[in-house]
Amino acid sequence: LYVQFANCNWDIKLGKFFSPFGYEVIGAPNNFFYSHSYTMYNSEPFTMTGILGERRISQNRSVVLGVTAGWDTGFENNSGGSLITGMRHQPNEYVDIAITTSICDTGVRDSGSLNSFVAQLQLTDDVSYVLQKGSDSF
């Protein structure tokens, strides 16, 4: 359960929300394939509990900032919190780039960090290409 609201150039989520990391998402209709990658299951959080804000700083660029109780946890099962930072950039209508970072409590993985880079390229109306690179240290 989360509340989402917008104010000026801010879009804010407060509560338990889906993770902003990686290309694949929890909701099946938004995934091209039925199965998921190894990275989604073992290196990225599914959900986060806290506050996450995205601020649009120009027509095609925004920054992401948030504080959570950790990965895949509620308020009761954590050993600290996590800081989320990131940037999204769409240089033109065919390219979309997202870079996000989480530092600190990673839930059952103890503590560490995750860096996620996702580039989406629209090659034609029916063909797109996605490049995802993640690096973590637990």
- Taking only the tens place, the pLDDT of each residue in 40-67 is 656 677 788 899 999 999 999 999 999 9
Residue 112 and residue 134 in contact, taking contact as beta carbons nearer than 8 Å: no
Mean pLDDT in the chain? 83
pLDDT score at 45: 79
Q: Kindly tell me if the per-residue pLDDT of 111 is higher than 60.
A: yes
For residue 38, give the 3-state DSSP assignment: helix
Q: Which two tokens stand for residue 99?
A: 């870079």
pTM assigned to the model: 0.80
pLDDT score at 107: 62
Kindly state the average pLDDT of the residues 83-103: 94
